[in-house]
Every structure is written in C-alpha cells, then in structure tokens.
Copies of this chain bind each other. A is one copy, B any other.
C-alpha cells in the first residue's frame, strides 16, 4: 500500500489529510497558518507536521507518493506562486520548498481548482470528467475540469470565474479593478451588496430591515417566505446564471457544482440559479445539471490528494 498527503492552505488554518492510495482518509487534522513575516513559517510548519505524522503512523518516506497542496493564489505549472495576499507570500517556489523540506514529491494547485478536483473525485461531481465548480465564499472562485484535468492556464489563472463580466453597466468597482465581475453579485459579500441596494429602495416589509445583513440572513429569509429576500435571491441567481452561461459555451461541462459558504443555504439555492440559466443558455448547454458540493471543508484536502494519485 502507498499513501499520500492532501494539504489545503488557508489564511487561518492549514487542513491536512493522510490518504491511502485507495482514497481512504486515514487521518485528518489542522494547524494554524502563521502568516506573519510574509508567511515564512507556513511551509516549514506543514513539513514538520507531515514528517511527524509519517513517523506516528509508522510509515517510511518511500511509501509516500507525495504531497498535494492547494493555495489561495494563482499557481504556475511549476508550482510557483507570485504572491498570495491571504498567506502574506510574495514570489514563492512552493513546490521546490516543500519538496526540500520534506524529501517528498509535491504538486501545488490553486485552492478553488483543487476543491473542484475533490468534488469530482468524491463529491457533488462524482463520476463526471467535465465539470465546473463555483465556490461562493467571500469571493467567487472556481475550477474548470475538462476530461478530468483542471484548466490551470498559461499564467496559473485558469478558472478565475469570479471575474467573468456579467454586467457591463456596473458602476461599483470589483476588488480586481474592473466593474461588473460575477464576484460582485454572487459572493457572500456580493449578496449583501445586492441586499443593501434593494433595501435602500424597498417599500415592502421584510425581516432583512435590520442593523446588518449577511448572505445567510438572505437565504434564511427566503426559506421563511420573505418576498424581499426572494427578490434579492432572484437577482443573485440571474447574475450567477449569466456567468455560468458564458462558462458553458466555453467549457461545456456535464455538471455545475455549487460550493463555498453561500452553498450551505442548501437546495433552496438551486432553482434561483437554474431557472434563469435554462431560459438563456445556449441550446447545446441547456441541460447541464446543477449540484451542491458535498465535501464541505474536506474538498481541498481530497482534491490535493487526488492531484498526487492522478500524477
């Protein structure tokens, strides 16, 4: 039996898993992400933790196929990151450093891409080889998988689906500097923005009229039948559908997997996205399925391990 590690490096914690080559998870744990001093301790901390676990499980390095790791940044094919705001990193040769620190092979991917691979392997997209995962979190990330392989792109920026333009009339500026990016409407932050805009002009009574509103509040109110919240959800769904329609004519996947914090609202989300999608999608792509992500926080470690097992 051979083994591998799946690592999901986030801005707060690093999630880690030890996998059998069969895909079975033997151990799962997390450590704190020390982002101070340009995040220089992050990779040494991960390496120390992995070496310790290898010993604790009585494994030899020769039994470890490698370490897969997802990071919140574009990653080149050589495993290089040119800066990650969340981790404090500037230019960093992640693959090389991690290999030197552990004496094991490493493969590095963008975290949203890696999560997509995880959902294809064991989650909402299981059994498919053409899928698009949309991660609706603080921002909107994604992974586009074609024939079982993630589109990494020439500059490590493949699948940056949060920056598809879905509104050429937008006046507010996205974090990237453009206007009208999907992220401005379909992220948790974007949903709050839509809710605030709606509340500013809304005359109907609604539970959303309170001090501060979250994306969760919006979907909780939708479930409680609040008409204003339904309007916000419809607007969210229309913009997300516009993004997915543009994705579909390019990648033509079998399934869209919707993940990230916003997707915790559950099945209530799907009709808001699927209805406008079906109305406007290019005819060849109209029947693409919509699924919720199912792995939650494990998508990253699973996808990271899968990179190694597929290599």
Contacting pair B74 A154 (CB below 8 A): no
With a CB–CB cut-off of 8 A, which chain B residues contact A267?
Answer: none
Contacting pair A155 B250 (CB below 8 A): no
Contacting pair B153 A252 (CB below 8 A): yes
From B154, B248, B288, contact of A253 by CB (8 A): B154
Contacting pair A250 B252 (CB below 8 A): no
Confirm or deny: A178 has a beta carbon within 8 angstroms of a beta carbon on chain B: yes
Choose the segment among A26-34, A86-94, A142-150, A211-219 that binds chain B (4+ C-beta atoms closer than 8 Å): A142-150
Confirm or deny: A160 has a beta carbon within 8 angstroms of a beta carbon on chain B: yes
Choose the segment among A3-11, A45-53, A97-105, A239-247 that binds chain B (4+ C-beta atoms closer than 8 Å): A239-247
Contacting pair B165 A284 (CB below 8 A): no
Confirm or deny: A130 has a beta carbon within 8 angstroms of a beta carbon on chain B: yes
Contacting pair A284 B156 (CB below 8 A): yes
Residue among A164, A167, A178, A254 facing the most chain B CB atoms (10 A cut-off): A164
Q: What would 20 more interface pairs be, CB under 8 Å, given A160-B284, A164-B246? A: A74-B284, A146-B151, A146-B158, A151-B250, A153-B253, A154-B252, A155-B284, A155-B287, A156-B284, A158-B251, A159-B249, A159-B250, A160-B249, A160-B250, A160-B252, A164-B249, A165-B246, A168-B168, A178-B280, A250-B250
